[in-house]
A = this chain, B = another copy of it.
Amino acid sequence: MRSEDRFVEAVRALLPAGGPVILGPGDDAAILQREGGLLAVTTDMLVEGVDFAAEEAPEAIGRRAVSVNLSDLAAMGAEPEALVLAIGFPKRRGPEYPLAITRSGAERAAEFGARLVGGDLSDAPATVVSVALWGRPSGHPLTRSGARPGDDVWISGFPGRATAGLDLAGRGSASSAAERELLAAYRDPEPRVALGAALARAGAATAAIDVSDGVGVDAGRLARASGARVVLERTRLPIAPALADYAARAGADPVAWLLSGGDDYELLFTALTWPVPPARASR
């Protein structure tokens, strides 16, 4: 178990059960029962030197901070409503810097129907951007824990590209369309909000998680939460041509990047085998 997962277990142990919290720490977002319906909430913090380089443009930081939070809501099948954004930054960055982060974050959120409604600015030794985002689950919220033996495992898009993009970012600039694709996968991930909401509305998925720490790690989390085993067939993993090329030239295994690389923000979900076998459809 990763230290992050151990932390979640420890936090879960100290919280009282029941009440308005339908799903607390340990999933991609929390789900609360309020008058008028459910509320899905998530928070994610990006830190300079850890999640982005010191020289990263503020517009890219704000956009990515919001995208990774949108991805958490996507994994619950929730439609984003609003967010707050807290920024810590060194004064030497100047006043335009946090404003550029905020503006790009607000624009990114607006693309998915969410509005920035509040924020906080702090002096800090290095830049930190913390977002809290909430929304409304559409249909039945997706969780990590509903996978059952026999379900199919699905993955959106082409995970692993973000890790290749990070590798590329460290080496300098991208020179081909394929390299730009990898770099964009890392720098500007696309949260799967519409997919998550559609799955929840249709009741089509039994469980879901967003792939932020690698398909292997996050499939393991979904499996553990569901009390099931997830089997990933190597030959059926979605390896992007751009990733296969780049890995071949780097002498690396693209499947390893897909399984244990992070930052892809694709959705991994499980669903009844389709077409549903007659024996199961009759249940």
Residues of A within 8 A of B (CB): 3-4, 6-7, 10-11, 14-16, 19-21, 24-25, 29-30, 32, 34-37, 39, 41-51, 81-82, 84-88, 95, 98-99, 102-103, 106, 115-126, 128, 130, 132, 134
Contacts and interface: CB of A to CB of B under 8 A. Distances in A.
Closest 7 interchain pairs by CB?
A: A36-B36, A132-B132, A35-B36, A130-B130, A30-B117, A43-B84, A45-B86
A14 B105 CA distance: 11
B86 A43 contact: yes
A116 B86 contact: no
Given A14-B103, A37-B35, A115-B15, A7 B128 contact: no
A19 B115 contact: yes
A201 B244 CA distance: 63
A14 B44 contact: no
A59 B14 CA distance: 14
Contacts of A30: 82, 84, 117-118
Given A36-B36, A43-B132, 9 more contacts: A21-B115, A25-B118, A32-B81, A34-B34, A41-B82, A42-B118, A43-B120, A47-B128, A125-B126
Contact of A51 (B3, B7, B36, B122): B122
A217 B25 CA distance: 38
Given A30-B117, A32-B117, A122 B84 contact: no
A119 to B, nearest CB: 6
A102 B11 contact: yes
Contact of A24 (B36, B117, B128): B117
The majority secondary structure among interface residues of chain A is strand
A53 to B, nearest CB: 14
A32 to B, nearest CB: 6
21 contacts: A7-B98, A7-B121, A11-B116, A11-B119, A14-B103, A20-B82, A25-B117, A25-B118, A30-B118, A32-B117, A34-B34, A34-B81, A35-B37, A36-B37, A41-B84, A43-B84, A45-B86, A48-B125, A88-B128, A125-B126, A128-B128
B84 A124 contact: no
A121 B6 contact: no
Contacts of A51: 122
A36 B119 CA distance: 24
A106 B82 CA distance: 23
A124 B42 contact: no
Q: Tell which of A34, A50, A102 has the most Cβ of chain B within 10 Å.
A: A34
A135 to B, nearest CB: 11
